[in-house]
Chain A
């Protein structure tokens, strides 16, 4: 997917007859690029530097003043990180936690959202309000008791402690509920009266229509679980249970002078999100804007 195909071409919808004043404003075309290009470069340079320094040798980095461009590609950092350190294990942990969180948010979010959108049951109103209220609770308020709950469950220092709190978020339930409410109910009711179970209706009729909302939930769940540091830092002590984020910051603390290895580890941490973003850019941007504009 190319980055230039976007839906943000507002100008196409404008009438063809452009007033003279506006046509004039399109002329100093290059001027905007003179402003935008250096700015864009400023945004890109740190990432470029991340990539460059990960393939530089330590000798080159530790020189003063340090080199700004690698004289040759040196993959020593990567082989150090993949060979000696526990990065592969941390990568696996991160993948497990994120995959479970995304799947279970889609499943439980759909089930809960559908029940709140379409089914009548005692207490639904109270529960919905409660759920909305918990969306506004900052994590710092709940992190100490959540730690104590996880300790009671015997999950501290296991991936379970990372998975359980992210199984389903009120955000996923609420977002899917809103989306289901926007769908026409006739189709569902016809199938339902014909004897389809609610589960069947949800699976074969509602969910196929809800792909954009499901994508939003998946994207935002993946971003927040993959990128989280606070909770793994609290819940995990043993390095076999680290996620990539926790592993990376610990690794940096221990290998302060091996910058090329630290940057190689950093690339590995960032790459999955970057690749996902570049492939599903539209879904990413729609996710943040829709949750932003409607939130």
Chain B
């Protein structure tokens, strides 16, 4: 094929592209080999179970014998079940307390640590360390510390002249004690994430606001917090998802008691499926929770994008 003379670089580029194309052709098989383990596990243990769970929620199933189709009975039963209502209520109380408190404490600590302070690293380590400890270990540790008879907490209260408390054994306290334990372990995450985000806050913006005479509070209100808002929305979503799914800590400390005062939704699901062997009923409860989480995520996403649009518009001109 006759070819026109071309600049020196051109043929190189052409052959480069051609070589790439040639090599890409036989590549689908390799690509599939690369992704197949991931696809297999994820299809088999995520996609399939999601569908299976939905089917289960319309069935009566005891995990052993073949299941029986019952239509919407499980969902109807959930609507009537006082234990489920209690579980929803407990979960909501827990979430409504834990999420804002952990974010607020985390932000406050991050703002303080972001100053010119010595031992920042040490403080950050101490606040964050409980986060890496398993909920099981936390639960066992705090069942001991808060043990009404042998616990250190009551011992300290005794020295202070305060009467001993029931803590996790007191139906009116247990849920709040669980919130406190999770605050101990979960605040550090918020602190660390806010600290990282504070590094990215545009310093020139702060300088400019300061030159304009903004006070410390105004600076926080009008510069720092808006700059942190994407992170805040993320943390709000993340902590809420974590809170709605709390299980391990409850299992280890209270097993849902006393008197059902700490039965949360996931504990309810686990109990129904693996203790009462009414797996279909458990699956229905799991679907209710999953749909609630989905709605929440969609709402948050909408908030996030609404948050973003005005800023990109402002940046455009």
| Closest chain B CB from A101 CB (angstroms) | 11
Whether the pair B130, A8 counts as a contact (CB closer than 8 A) is no
Query: A249's closest neighbor in chain B, by CB?
Result: B252
Q: Is A140 an interface residue (CB 8 A)?
A: yes
Instruction: Given the known inter-chain contacts A4-B119, A8-B199, please indicate yes or no for A270 contacting B30, CB distance below 8 A.
Output: no
Q: Is A226 an interface residue (CB 8 A)?
A: yes
| Closest chain A CB from B121 CB (angstroms) | 4
Whether the pair B42, A134 counts as a contact (CB closer than 8 A) is yes
Q: List residues 128-157 of chain B with CB under 8 A from any CB of chain A.
A: 128-137, 139-145, 147, 149-152, 154-156
Query: B293's closest neighbor in chain A, by CB?
Result: A138
Whether the pair A121, B203 counts as a contact (CB closer than 8 A) is no
Choose one: A4, A130, A192; the contact of B121 (CB below 8 Å). A4
Q: List residues 258-283 of chain B with CB under 8 A from any CB of chain A.
A: 265-266, 269-270, 273-274, 279, 282-283
Task: Classify the interface of chain B: helix, strand, loop or mixed.
Answer: helix
Choose one: B35, B115, B159, B188; the contact of A112 (CB below 8 Å). B35
Query: A105's closest neighbor in chain B, by CB?
Result: B38
Residues of B with C-beta under 8 A to A277: 129, 132
User: How many chain B residues touch A (Cβ–Cβ < 8 Å)?
Assistant: 113
Interface membership of chain B positions 200-212, coded 1 if the CB is closer than 8 angstroms to chain A and 0 otherwise: 0001000100100
Q: Is B120 an interface residue (CB 8 A)?
A: yes
Q: Chain B interface: which of A43-51, A81-89, A210-218?
A: A43-51
Q: How far is the CA of A44 from the CA of B130 in the complex (A)?
A: 8
Q: Is B41 an interface residue (CB 8 A)?
A: yes
Choose one: B46, B125, B188; the contact of A137 (CB below 8 Å). B46
Residues of A with C-beta under 8 A to B32: 115, 121
Q: How far is the CA of A68 from the CA of B283 in the complex (A)?
A: 46
Q: How far is the CA of A102 from the CA of B219 in the complex (A)?
A: 44
| Closest chain A CB from B180 CB (angstroms) | 11
Q: Is B177 an interface residue (CB 8 A)?
A: no
Whether the pair A43, B184 counts as a contact (CB closer than 8 A) is yes
Interface membership of chain B positions 173-214, coded 1 if the CB is closer than 8 angstroms to chain A and 0 otherwise: 000000000001000110011011111000100010010000
What are 10 A-B contacts defined by CB distance under 8 Å? A10-B114, A33-B118, A119-B24, A120-B24, A131-B42, A144-B279, A168-B37, A192-B23, A198-B27, A223-B132
Q: A43-B126, A164-B41, A229-B136 are in contact. List 8 more A-B contacts (CB 8 A).
A: A8-B113, A40-B127, A112-B39, A136-B297, A140-B245, A168-B37, A228-B248, A248-B137
Interface residues of B (CB under 8 A from A): 16, 19-20, 23-24, 27-28, 30-32, 34-35, 37-39, 41-50, 52-53, 56, 63, 109, 112-137, 139-145, 147, 149-152, 154-156, 158-159, 184, 188-189, 192-193, 195-199, 203, 207, 210, 216, 231, 234-235, 238, 241, 245, 247-248, 251-252, 265-266, 269-270, 273-274, 279, 282-283, 286-287, 289-290, 293-294, 297
